[in-house]
């Protein structure tokens, strides 16, 4: 994996993304050449239109990121990737047509965009037909050795067996565990020179998967491996990198203290984040005010009660604030206290079901973003009653309040709607990853991926 602004990107994804970007520029150029030939004009020099070429490729490429073209399933399933590609290219072309209407130019007319769309579909699908098996091959998977044969090693094996895994485990070394979960593990005593053994297998990374309370750290082995130029990683850090979440089953306070993250550079990130929040919230409020107004009237007509729902939530550093949303439930929905939303929840109104699925009920929260109580990106703000209960049941739950709550977030795009303590625990693992590693780049990734969640709202309730 390559670490970009504290966020890890698999080599295969990065290579495919760069290749797609180049092919999108090729598709735009072919479209212009064809259109120029049809109407009998001189296409001109390529160097005179490289800015429109790069700009058009950027728009479609960002649309591809938004709808999940580079997600794990898209890289393993051509059918899945093809469907997402069609949606992404269509969205990109619509945006480009709007740009052409607002800022008319001489290079890319709307008629040219239709050709560009056709060429883009052809080259990108052909690209995937040729490269899918290659990108999924072992050549793009890191060769990993696991020190340990217990439950943690078994968890790594299950993770590595997934088709989207970016690593392949080439050997397990039993380090004297009383009970083995991985039967094929080689006993440490059977290997004379562990450093040479690692070299012979072409291992690029060794993961320490010991139950540290039961086993002393094999310092001599780790030192020998490290001096061979092989990366050594602990179990929790490896899981964080591979899954994009902090594993609560194995993490401890010392790991959070000494691991990478929560750096001083976040002061700059926070300043950039606030500037973006102010600008984007002003623009979004101006653009969506008519939509909010129309649906406020519809909500009012659909069921008795106010159009807007106001509720106390927990924000940054545990401070409480009032959140405003379009009302999607009956007015007596919480007469007995706050409770989790359920599938096919009878408290949700007819209009409420629709506005939840398309996230229109979230739009008034933009006012909280403008006031600085929330951000566009961050952990979901919870009600005080839930927070008090969850802090007693889930370790490190309070750490999620070290960043501002958000309308969307890393947990929201990676895990379905949480409606139980177990769901909250899983979402906290993603929230901790975000609080630990957030940068403007990660915020951009989350904002783009939110489009996918809106288009395919499997987790909306």
SS3 347: coil
322 beta partners: 312
DSSP label of 164: T
pTM, rounded to two decimals: 0.86
Contact 204, 142 (CB under 8 A): yes
CA 89 from centroid of its chain's CA atoms: 20
User: Using CA of residue 162, residue 166, residue 170, residue 173, what is the dihedral sign?
Assistant: negative
Count the residues in the chain. Answer: 461
Q: Name the β-bridge partners of 9.
A: 2
State the SS3 of 42-111: CCCCHHHCHHHHHHHHHHHHHHHHHCCCCCHHHHHCHHHHHHHHHHHHHHHHHHHHHHHHHCCCCCCCHH
Does residue 20 contact residue 127 with C-beta atoms inside 8 Å?
yes
Q: Are 173 and 203 in contact (CB under 8 A)?
A: no
Token couple for 40: 């009998």
pLDDT at 335: 63
The backbone torsions φ and ψ at residue 356, rounded to the nearest 5 degrees and listed phi first, read: -70, -40
Is-contact 375 277, C-beta < 8 A? Answer: yes
User: How many Å apart are CA 63 and CA 116, to the nearest integer?
Assistant: 15
What is the block-wise mean pLDDT of the chain (461 residues), using blocks of 10 residues?
76 86 92 85 80 89 90 71 87 85 66 86 86 64 91 93 85 86 90 89 92 68 87 92 91 83 73 93 93 91 87 92 89 65 71 84 93 94 90 90 92 80 90 90 91 71 47
């Amino acid at each position: 994996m390559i670490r970009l602004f504290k966020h890890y990107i698999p080599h295969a994804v990065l290579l495919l993304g760069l290749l797609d970007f180049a092919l999108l520029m090729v598709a735009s150029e072919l479209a212009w050449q064809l259109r120029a030939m049809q109407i009998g004009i001189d296409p001109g020099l390529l160097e005179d239109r490289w800015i429109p070429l790069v700009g058009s490729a950027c728009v479609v490429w960002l649309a591809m990121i938004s709808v999940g073209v580079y997600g794990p399933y898209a890289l393993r399933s051509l059918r899945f990737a093809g469907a997402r590609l069609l949606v992404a290219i269509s969205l990109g072309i619509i945006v480009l047509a709007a740009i052409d209407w607002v800022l008319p130019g001489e290079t890319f007319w709307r008629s040219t965009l239709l050709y560009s769309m056709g060429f883009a579909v052809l080259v990108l699908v052909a690209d995937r037909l040729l490269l899918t098996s290659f990108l999924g091959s072992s050549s793009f998977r890191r060769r990993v050795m696991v020190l340990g044969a217990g439950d943690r090693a078994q968890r790594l094996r299950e993770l590595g067996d997934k088709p989207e895994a970016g690593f392949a485990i080439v050997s397990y070394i039993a380090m004297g565990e009383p009970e083995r979960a991985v039967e094929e593990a080689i006993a440490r005593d059977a290997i004379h020179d562990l450093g040479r053994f690692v070299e012979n297998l072409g291992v690029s990374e060794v993961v320490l998967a010991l139950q540290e309370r039961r086993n002393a750290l094999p310092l001599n082995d780790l030192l020998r491996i490290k001096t061979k130029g092989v990366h050594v990683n602990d179990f929790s850090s490896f899981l964080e990198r591979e899954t994009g979440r902090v594993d609560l089953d194995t993490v401890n306070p010392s790991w959070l203290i000494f691991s990478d993250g929560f750096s001083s550079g976040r002061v700059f990130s926070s300043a950039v984040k606030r500037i973006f929040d102010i600008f984007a919230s002003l623009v979004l409020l101006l653009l969506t005010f008519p939509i909010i107004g129309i649906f406020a009237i519809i909500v009012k007509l659909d069921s008795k009660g106010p159009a807007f729902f106001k509720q106390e939530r927990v924000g940054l550093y545990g401070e409480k604030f009032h959140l405003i949303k379009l009302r999607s439930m009956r007015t007596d929905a919480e007469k007995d206290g706050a409770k989790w939303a359920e599938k096919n929840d009878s408290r949700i109104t007819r209009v409420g079901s629709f506005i939840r699925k398309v996230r229109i009920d979230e739009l008034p929260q933009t006012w909280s973003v403008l006031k600085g109580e929330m951000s566009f990106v961050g952990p979901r703000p919870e009600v005080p009653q839930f927070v008090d209960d969850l802090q007693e049941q889930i370790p490190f739950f309070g750490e999620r309040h070290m960043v501002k709550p958000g309308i969307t977030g890393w947990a929201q795009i990676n895990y379905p709607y949480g409606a139980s303590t177990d769901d909250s625990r899983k979402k906290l693992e993603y929230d901790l990853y975000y609080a630990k590693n957030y940068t403007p780049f990660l915020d951009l990734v989350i904002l783009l991926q939110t489009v996918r969640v809106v288009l395919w709202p499997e987790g909306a309730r």
